């Protein structure tokens, strides 16, 4: 991935000099060949080695997901800034009136030391709001941040399709030239069940709160949210299964390259870089598809 980024580094200068770009796969020498045809007849050829990898095929179907939320990427990225960078998972709880995001506290952490952050977004802020099941889901924040960065840079709204805890949540971005689906694993149901049990135990304490006057309704909201959701987690299952860099999968539209590049997202490239790569891929995908067709025609 890094070497691919290095080819497309410094977009502005590429845009000035490169007239077309050809990406091909040389199976004889096992190389991914990227050729940049620049001005003045200069051709830059990059031969990149690649490895076979097992592609994780996530099984999902967005049409059957009972819950669909759609919101500008900006809204969601504004929401996640409130969570610490080190936080690994976040829980999303949707209710008819609002969506609540809260940090998921891991098992090892003493719940009496961890700071809990909770954020509510009202229904009006979403572009689409369809809910049938009200199960909370917990997914990786890091990857979520990454895909938000991508969606924000393309200025497109994000659709979230999700079902119950443990079922994949699909975050998708659509456009005429681009369609990306990011599938994140969610924490499975058994874990949440043990959590809500804990909640039962924790709840009575809440009654000690003294809430004066105007805060009352806000407190009630908080208590109801507590009843449903996470905090002191017991997730042996989840922990044993080292998050397989939540299965990211996508169906790229206009060209095959995209497919390859996006699949790598769960890896480590820093956001900025991979964002710029994505830009690269978008730009090419429209241009290059046309190029290839031309070539085939002339051959035939």
Partner 1 sequence: MRFRCKIVDVSCLNHFTRVVNTITKLTKSCTLRLTPANLYFILTDKVANGGVSMWCELCQANFFDEYQMEGVSVEQNEIYLEMVPENISRALKTAQNAKFVKIKLTNKHCPCLTMAVELPSLSSTSRIVTHDIPVTVIPRRLWNDFKEPTVPDFDVSIYLPAIKTMKSVVERMKNLSNFIVIEANRNGEIILKIETDLVSVSTHFKDLGNPHLISIDASQNSIQERDPDFMSEARVDIRKLLQFLAGQQVNPNKSICNIVHKRMVHFILLHDDVSLQYFIPALA
The residues that touch partner 1, with contacts defined as CB under 8 A, are 75, 79, 81-82, 84, 111-122, 124-125, 202, 205-206, 208-210, 212, 215, 218, 222, 226, 231-232
Q: Of the two residues 2 and 82, which places its CB atom closer to partner 1 in the complex? A: 82
CA distance linking residue 252 with residue 257, whole number of Å: 8
CB of 117 to partner 1, least distance (A): 5
Sequence-ordered list of residues with C-beta below 8 angstroms from that of 29, at least 6 positions apart, any chain: 47
CB of 113 to partner 1, least distance (A): 6
Kind and range of the H or E run holding 127:
none
CA distance linking residue 225 with residue 68, whole number of Å: 20
CA distance linking residue 105 with residue 247, whole number of Å: 22
CB of 221 to partner 1, least distance (A): 8
Q: Of the two residues 52 and 210, which places its CB atom closer to partner 1 in the complex? A: 210
Q: Of the two residues 42 and 116, which places its CB atom closer to partner 1 in the complex? A: 116
Q: Of the two residues 5 and 119, which places its CB atom closer to partner 1 in the complex? A: 119
CA distance linking residue 259 with residue 88, whole number of Å: 26
CA distance linking residue 25 with residue 36, whole number of Å: 14
Q: Of the two residues 81 and 295, which places its CB atom closer to partner 1 in the complex? A: 81
Look at the block and give the residue holding tokens 């080190």: 86
CB of 138 to partner 1, least distance (A): 18
Distances 24 to 36, 227, 299 between C-alpha atoms, Å: 11, 55, 16
Q: Of the two residues 5 and 222, which places its CB atom closer to partner 1 in the complex? A: 222
CB of 25 to partner 1, least distance (A): 45
Q: Of the two residues 102 and 263, which places its CB atom closer to partner 1 in the complex? A: 102
Strand order of the β-sheet with 31-38 is 18-26, 31-38, 43-49
CA distance linking residue 115 with residue 252, whole number of Å: 39
CA distance linking residue 210 with residue 226, whole number of Å: 17
CB crowding 128-153: b at 16 or more within 10 Å, else e: ebeeeeebbbbbbbbbbbbbbbbbbb
CB of 12 to partner 1, least distance (A): 32
CB of 75 to partner 1, least distance (A): 8
């Amino acid at each position: 991935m890094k070497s691919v980024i290095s080819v497309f580094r410094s977009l502005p200068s590429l845009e000035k000099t490169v007239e077309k770009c050809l990406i091909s796969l040389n199976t004889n020498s096992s190389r991914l060949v990227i050729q940049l045809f620049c001005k003045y007849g200069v051709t830059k050829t990059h031969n990149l080695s690649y490895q076979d990898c097992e592609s994780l095929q996530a099984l999902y179907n967005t049409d059957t997901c009972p819950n669909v939320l759609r919101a500008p990427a900006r809204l969601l990225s504004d929401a996640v800034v409130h969570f610490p960078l080190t936080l690994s998972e976040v829980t999303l709880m949707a209710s008819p009136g609002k969506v609540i995001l809260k940090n998921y506290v891991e098992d090892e952490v003493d719940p009496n030391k961890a700071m809990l952050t909770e954020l509510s977004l009202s229904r009006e802020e979403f572009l689409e709001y369809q809910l049938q099941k009200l199960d909370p889901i917990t997914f990786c924040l890091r990857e979520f941040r990454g895909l938000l960065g991508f969606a924000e840079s393309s200025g497109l709204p994000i659709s979230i399709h999700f079902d119950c805890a443990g079922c994949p949540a699909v975050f998708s971005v659509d456009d005429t030239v681009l369609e990306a689906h990011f599938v994140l694993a969610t924490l499975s149901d058994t874990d949440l069940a043990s959590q809500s049990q804990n909640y039962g135990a924790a709840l009575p304490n809440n009654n000690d709160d003294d809430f004066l006057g105007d805060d009352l309704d806000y407190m009630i909201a908080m208590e109801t949210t507590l009843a449903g959701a996470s905090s002191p987690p017991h997730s042996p299952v989840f922990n044993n299964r080292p998050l397989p860099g939540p299965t990211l999968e996508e169906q790229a539209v206009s060209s095959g390259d995209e497919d390859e590049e996006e699949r790598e997202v769960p890896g480590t490239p820093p956001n900025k870089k991979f964002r710029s790569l994505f830009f690269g891929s978008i730009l090419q995908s429209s241009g290059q598809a046309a190029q290839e067709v031309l070539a085939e025609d002339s051959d035939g």
